[in-house]
């Protein structure tokens, strides 16, 4: 794949006059854990992000605000809830897949979202808990009613714009029972389908979709489950997202905003957001090519951890997915059409509490394949700690360059 070393990446990014780093969070700079409320952010990373202000944005399916948001991690690691807003130490960029925009002072907006959609999402966690409590006894009959209630409660992430059910706690009860793990995955998919139908009944037919992670790509209608297997639990997260809230479109929003801040006008329009963006990869490329002059397009460095590739069961090809694959591929292809050496960085997130395929496998099984159109320029097998060190070094060199 033509991997380059850290030193070459640093040299290229430090010398770039017009640079935009677009980076996922969980699994990249934050180790993956079974309970996201126990996540820890390194203070070195927070201060490095501040040094890269104007050249750095996050792009995450998580959220900025709320008790589960990354802003709380920033406040916790700095030991204060006041300093980040005063000094602009929050992480700027897009969350909830692209519908929650924040600057580094923690000022949040929700471009393109209706009040009806927000109202529906606000009651979703309680609906999720009720439906999960109804379904779990049939799959885990040995659990008491109190244990069912507890497992349902800890499995639901009550985020504002992306309510999620996570299977890690339930899977920990049955670590070696693949059949029950698969049954839970299918049950969660059916539960989410019911909630999508509830939204349609409320007049929100085209408002939402279900994002699952890890996944095996899309069948054109919805994302494919990655079934649990021996040594690989597969899909663990079922996330209720607003349609259009995909990272590919989010990448274009970040580029548009970056150019606006540098040049004084937004080439894709002042009101451009993920929900008004084109839907296909080629359309997104064409939108850029037709509206963004080459001299305004920044050099891009994309960083993620969730990329998957698995053989089709019938042996006819590959099922490729992962929540970072789309935006990293778009970033790579933008480099080609603008003749930029954009760089794709992949961080190994297998060292946390959640199983993931590892970069230590030289063939990148479960991550990539020999025919994969997405190529990784830099691999970070040491995981988030090594990436944070690389990120901090980049920030330091650019600040003194």
Could you tell me which residues are beta bridge partners of residue 232?
A: 229
* Alpha carbon distance 224, 220 (integer Å): 10
Percentage of residues of the chain with pLDDT beyond 90? 90
Give the pLDDT score at 219. Answer: 86
Measured over the CA atoms of residue 395, residue 374, residue 275 and residue 216, the dihedral's sign is: negative
Q: Which domains does the chain have, with CATH numbers?
A: 6-110+245-400 (3.40.50.1000), 115-160+163-242 (no CATH)
Mean per-residue pLDDT for 15-41? 95
pLDDT of 209 reads 93
Cβ atoms of 97 and 274 closer than 8 Å: yes
Residues in a beta bridge with 218: 223
The answer, yes or no, to whether residue 153 has pLDDT greater than 80, is yes
Residue 186, SS3 per DSSP: helix
The span from the CA of 220 to the CA of 48, in Å, is: 40
Cα separation of 89 and 69, whole Å? 15
- Secondary structure of 11-65 in the HEC alphabet? HHHHHCCCEEEEECCECCCECCCCCHHHCCCCHHHHHHHHHCCCCEEEECCCCCC
What is the distance between the alpha carbons of residues 302 and 86, in angstroms, rounded to a whole number? Answer: 28
| pLDDT value, residue 348 | 97
Alpha carbon distance 285, 297 (integer Å): 12
The pTM for the full model equals 0.89
Give the mean model confidence (pLDDT) for residues 361-384.
95
Identify the pLDDT of residue 2.
Answer: 62
Of all residues in the chain, the percent with pLDDT exceeding 70 is: 100
Give yes or no for residue 220 having a pLDDT over 90. Answer: no
Give the mean model confidence (pLDDT) for residues 213-224: 88
E strands, 214-317, where? Answer: 215-218, 223-225, 237-242, 299-304, 308-311
Q: If you average pLDDT over residues 32-38, what whole number do you get? A: 88
Q: Is a pLDDT exceeding 70 seen at residue 82?
A: yes
Q: How many CB atoms lie within 10 A of CB 310?
A: 23
What is the average pLDDT value for the chain, to the nearest integer?
Answer: 95
pLDDT, average across residues 26-53: 95
Given this model, what pLDDT does residue 1 score? Answer: 52
pLDDT at 208 over 60: yes
User: If you search the block for the tokens 């989410």, which residue do you land on?
Assistant: 192
Tokens of 142: 């040995």
Structure tokens at 137: 């006894």
């Amino acid at each position: 794949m033509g991997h380059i070393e850290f030193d070459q990446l640093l040299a290229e990014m430090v010398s770039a006059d017009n640079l935009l780093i677009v980076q996922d969070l969980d699994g990249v700079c934050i180790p993956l854990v079974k309970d996201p409320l126990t996540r820890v952010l390194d203070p070195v990373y927070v201060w490095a992000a501040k040094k890269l202000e104007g050249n750095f944005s996050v792009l995450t399916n998580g959220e900025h605000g709320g008790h589960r948001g990354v802003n709380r991690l920033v406040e916790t690691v700095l030991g204060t809830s006041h300093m980040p807003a005063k000094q602009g130490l929050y992480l700027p960029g897009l969350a909830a897949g692209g519908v929650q925009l924040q600057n580094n002072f923690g000022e949040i907006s929700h471009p393109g979202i209706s009040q009806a959609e927000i109202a529906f999402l606000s009651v979703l966690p309680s609906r999720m808990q009720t439906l999960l409590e109804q379904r779990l006894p049939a799959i885990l009959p040995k659990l008491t009613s109190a244990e069912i209630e507890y497992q349902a409660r800890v499995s639901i992430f009550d985020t504002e714009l992306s309510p999620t059910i996570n299977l890690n706690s339930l899977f920990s009860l049955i670590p070696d029972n693949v059949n029950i793990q698969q049954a839970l995955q299918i049950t969660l998919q059916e539960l989410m389908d019911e909630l999508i139908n509830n939204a349609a009944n409320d007049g929100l037919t085209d408002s939402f979709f279900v994002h699952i992670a890890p996944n095996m790509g899309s069948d054109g209608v919805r994302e494919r489950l990655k079934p649990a297997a021996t040594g690989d639990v597969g899909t663990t997260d079922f996330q209720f997202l607003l349609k259009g809230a995909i990272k590919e479109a989010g990448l274009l929003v970040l580029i548009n905003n970056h150019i606006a801040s540098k040049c004084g006008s937004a080439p894709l329009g002042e009101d451009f957001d993920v929900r008004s963006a084109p839907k296909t990869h080629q359309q997104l490329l064409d939108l850029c090519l037709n509206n963004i002059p080459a001299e305004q397009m920044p050099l891009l460095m994309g960083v993620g951890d969730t990329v998957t590739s698995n053989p089709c069961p019938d042996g006819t090809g590959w099922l490729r997915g992962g929540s970072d694959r789309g935006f990293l591929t778009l970033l790579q292809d933008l480099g080609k059409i603008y003749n930029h050496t954009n760089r794709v960085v992949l961080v190994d997130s297998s060292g946390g509490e959640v199983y993931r395929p590892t970069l230590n496998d030289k063939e990148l099984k479960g991550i990539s394949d020999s025919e994969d159109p997405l190529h990784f320029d830099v691999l970070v097998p040491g995981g988030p700690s090594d990436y944070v060190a690389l990120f901090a070094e980049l920030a330091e060199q650019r600040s003194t360059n």
